[in-house]
Chains A and B, each alone.
Chain A
Amino acid sequence: MNILEKSELIKNQEFTARENVERFSEIIEKKNPQINAFLEINKEQAQKKALEIDERLKNGEEVGKLAGLVIGIKSNINVEDFTISAASPTLENYLGSYDATVVKRIKAEDGIIIGMTNMDEFAAGSSTESSYYGPTNNPAAPGLIPGGSSGGSAAAIAAGMCDLALGSDTGGSIRNPASHCGVIGFKPTYGAVSRQGLLDLAMSLDQIGPFAGDTSGIALMLESIAGLDPQECTSMEWEVPPFSNLVGENAKETLKGMKLGIVKQFQEVTDRPIVKIIEKSIDQMQEMGAEVVELSFDYIDLCLPTYYLINYVELFSATRKYDGRKYGSKIEEVCGEEVLRRIHMGSYISQKEFSGKYYKKALQARSLIRKEVTRLLKDVDLLVGPTVPKLPHKVGSTLEPLEMYAYDVLTVMANLAGIPAGSLKAGEVKGVPVGLQMQGKPLEDAKIIQAMDAFENLNK
């Protein structure tokens, strides 16, 4: 039963919202102490909301698209009265003072928010180990990191603790943990989903997106949260496709005639066992009628430095408000080493004397990458390849910053170019999930969802 089917069951009162909340609460209670996916749970509020939905259904009243579905939210998205800590001691006492636009929309569609998920501190990481509240364990591969920074949301889905979850993706923070945990994660086109209420990592790259165990869940969540927010300037005016109508029925047909671009440099930087699984997936898609085109991307080495320079400067700027006057502690005095490193780097390279040398160069490099990505996508429908170039490491192992950053090499491009990208499970290497990444043209999010749906059906 996929999410869409489950949502129908609830609407038809064959399964109640209350039962749904009850079931997930039990799983959370049982598993969360080991997994540490959720940082905060509000069971009472969820139960209350569930009863209200069931009541309305009983009375034959209309309910929203997400009616009765249980949802986890990453701890950097404002939800009123939950602790929006961004997994940092800086904000350990900050209660969400307003609802982010995506949260307003989830509530309007009768989604039930059960709690806040773990993450890397201020989303600056790819392992969820830098959380002030301790690491999250990977439910699909216990003992290994779940990836990050939205590791809590990915793990919550993988452990069956909720139906849907939201994460944020600045350089892969949704797709990376989706890949490591063997679930589906989707980063929409920049501007497709409002960022109003999302705590900043790098404003020009951040994007909120959904996690789910199947594509129908991604579709349902995306169509609920996407679309113009007149109160967020980078949000785009676009006709949101009825994503949930596009999945299911003719899934296998959609790959027929679709042009898939394979970038050889993406495979080159990736560990061999992962490449093998990806190649097999591509073969399968070819068998279903997709056409494969070999492409070359010469700027892959430019992506990480460009990404990190922008990330440092924008995080530095965004964290100036945590000056110790309003939210308790001054960020530099309490944050972890990765956040501190980025703030110091950001402060250093944005100095007047370096103006033009680093940040402006990075912005120029970004335009170049964007242009090049447009060229790559010109004659194909999607780019397909690995999501992460290596397997997750053991929780607690020591990595140099550059080793850590190397996790992001295949995912930052989508953020730099603002294009949509999703990751879903392609297979396993010794029991550890491996993700297949699909990237598309701006606002062609639907194409990725359809292709993911087709691929998912193929492996059923």
Chain B
Amino acid sequence: MKCGLEIHVQLETDSKLFCDCRTNYQDTPANNNVCHVCLNQPGAKPYPTNEKALEGALKIALMLDCKIAKEITYFMRKHYNYPDLSSGYQRTSIPIGYEGDLNGVRIREVHMEEDPGQYKPDTGTVDFNRSGIPLIEIVTEPDMKSPEEARKFLKELIRVLEYSGNARGEGTMRADVNISLEGGKRVEIKNVNSIKGAYKALKFEMVRQKNLLKRGVEVTQETRAFLEAQMITVSMRLKEEAEDYRYIPDPDLPPMKSDDSQVQGIKEKMPEPPHIKTKRFMDEYHLAEEHAKVLTSELELADTYEEVVKEIEAEFAALWMRDELKRVIYYNKMTFMESEITTSQIIELLQMLKDKEITTKAGQRIIEQLPQSSKSPRSIAEEMGLVGIVNEDEVLNAAKKAIEENPTTVEDYHQGKKAAMNFLVGQVMKLTRGKAEPGNTVKILRDLLS
């Protein structure tokens, strides 16, 4: 199969694309962030294009390795009739960037659009708060060969958008998914609003089309809608019924030219795109791909890692940051940035571990205390009495005690119950206040029990 995607995501700006209305439509009562321009009242003309939106779109295009259109950029009017579209046309720019690449998937073009309002068919009402919010649309070539590849691409794309700091991420994503199987025509699926949705829609469509082809039924070119709740697609219209948008250049918006110095300025300031950073981490720090990906999943985490490895050995730092640190921030449902954990906190903790001032177990307990805490790992360790590693004898004594006090568990152990060993290790930890090395403890317990 071949799959191509058209992905729309909102650009992160304070004001709308063609007027001064605010863009926080989700926390505003319906039809409050509106004016004559974004309502397209009779006679209203667009204000000059929001510079920040244009800059964000350029940055994203550059991060996707696109060539930047040297020619003038202008907006087209795409005419269609729908209640959420207050002017009867949507302004959509000609490509700002083209011929890009993201991990081997070719990017055909990147352009800007304005978001329509939100129509609720059940109540028949429209909320125009969203009308005029800038969108970026990214169009790929049909380079994905499976639903899994499409999902992988989308995850990676969202990561790029997050890195850019100029887009609003998966929550505002709307995608059109194109799929064609060998022997069938191209089918476009609309109304896909998440990565999971894209994956499910492709899965469903692949099975549906395969079954048709198997039965010798022709797969015709058509547009289908994805029904999120049921995870199925249904036919919307055939190719013959395709809408004619009667594109014309918008006469109210004179052409703009992106000048070289602006592009150069954005290039200098823009972050290294995540997929390129991942590769560099693999080369520079000798990390496995999966680990490099975890560390580059968030720009701030990646930056912190690079600071940490100036002091701490790269592999050791990677191990702790990708496993323990990620586990803790994931558990707290935060991003790394939101956790407010600092580079110096991480360095101090890892240094203590390396110097064997604390055990691995203690390290884990300390790291759990770090989110949104300004305390140093050392003071946390001292407060919790976690400093120091117990000697072999103490562990041995604790192990003996644990065996003595839990005869039933010991019996379970001999009968081959795995949980029994975990329980005994836990008891030893309790007795040593977590200062015993878990690996060593298991060994000691095994020896005693054999």
Contact = CB atoms under 8 A, between A and B. Distances in A.
A347 interface: yes
A194 to B, nearest CB: 8
Contacts of B227: none
Contacts of A199: 42-43
Interface in B29-66: 36, 40-49
Contact of B86 (A94, A232, A321): A321
Interface in A347-379: 347, 350-352, 355, 359
Contacts of A130: none
A239 B158 CA distance: 48
B268 to A, nearest CB: 29
A250 B41 CA distance: 46
Given A233-B254, A313-B248, A200 B81 contact: no
B43 A78 contact: yes
Contact of B87 (A230, A231, A234, A321): A321
B393 interface: no
Contact of A204 (B41, B44, B77, B251): B251
A196 B245 CA distance: 26
B314 to A, nearest CB: 52
B361 interface: no
Interface string B221-253: 000000000000000000000001111100111
A321 B254 CA distance: 21
Contacts of B86: 321, 326
A354 to B, nearest CB: 10
A199 B49 CA distance: 21
Given A234-B252, A350-B248, A352-B244, A317 B43 contact: no
Interface in B65-111: 77, 79, 81, 83, 86-89
A219 B252 CA distance: 27
A24 interface: no
Interface in A312-330: 313-314, 316-317, 319-321, 323, 325-327
B43 A233 contact: no
A327 B46 CA distance: 20
A320 B42 contact: no
Contact of B43 (A100, A316, A325): A100
* Chain A interface size range: 35 or more
Contacts of A326: 86
Interface in A72-105: 76-78, 84, 86, 91, 94, 97-98, 100
Nearest to A76: B43
A202 B251 CA distance: 9
B41 A323 contact: no
A161 interface: no
A359 B248 contact: yes
Contacts of B49: 233
In this complex, which of B41, B42, B79, B88 has the most chain A Cβ atoms within 10 angstroms of its Cβ? Answer: B42
A197 interface: yes
B243 to A, nearest CB: 10
Nearest to B49: A233
A374 B251 CA distance: 21
Contacts of A230: 47-48
In this complex, which of A195, A202, A325 has the most chain B Cβ atoms within 10 angstroms of its Cβ? Answer: A325
Contacts of B251: 202-204, 234, 314
Interface in A289-334: 313-314, 316-317, 319-321, 323, 325-327
B42 A327 contact: yes
Interface of A: 76-78, 84, 86, 91, 94, 97-98, 100, 195-200, 202-204, 230-234, 313-314, 316-317, 319-321, 323, 325-327, 347, 350-352, 355, 359
Contacts of B41: 78, 97-98
A350 B79 CA distance: 10
A233 B89 contact: no
Interface of B: 36, 40-49, 77, 79, 81, 83, 86-89, 244-248, 251-254
A317 B79 contact: yes
Contacts of B253: 233
B98 to A, nearest CB: 20
B43 A232 contact: no
Contacts of B47: 230-233
Given A320-B81, A321-B87, A351 B45 contact: no
Which A-B residue pairs are the 4 nearest by beta carbons? Answer: A320-B88, A203-B251, A204-B251, A350-B246
A241 to B, nearest CB: 24
A226 B444 CA distance: 92
B42 A86 contact: yes
Contact of A347 (B45, B46, B246): B246
A321 B42 contact: yes
A142 B47 CA distance: 44
Given A233-B253, A320-B81, A326-B86, A195 B45 contact: yes
A97 B47 CA distance: 17
Given A204-B251, A233-B252, A233-B254, A320 B36 contact: no
A332 to B, nearest CB: 11
A350 to B, nearest CB: 4
A325 B248 contact: no
Contacts of A314: 248, 251
A320 B83 CA distance: 12
In this complex, which of B45, B77, B87, B252 has the most chain A Cβ atoms within 10 angstroms of its Cβ? Answer: B45
Nearest to B79: A320
A187 to B, nearest CB: 17
B89 A320 contact: yes
In this complex, which of A100, A232, A321 has the most chain B Cβ atoms within 10 angstroms of its Cβ? Answer: A321
Contacts of B246: 316-317, 347, 350-352
B252 A77 contact: no
A198 B43 contact: yes
Contacts of A97: 36, 41
Given A97-B41, A195-B45, A199-B43, A325 B83 contact: yes
Nearest to B35: A98
A234 B254 contact: yes
In this complex, which of B48, B87, B252, B254 has the most chain A Cβ atoms within 10 angstroms of its Cβ? Answer: B252
Nearest to B82: A323
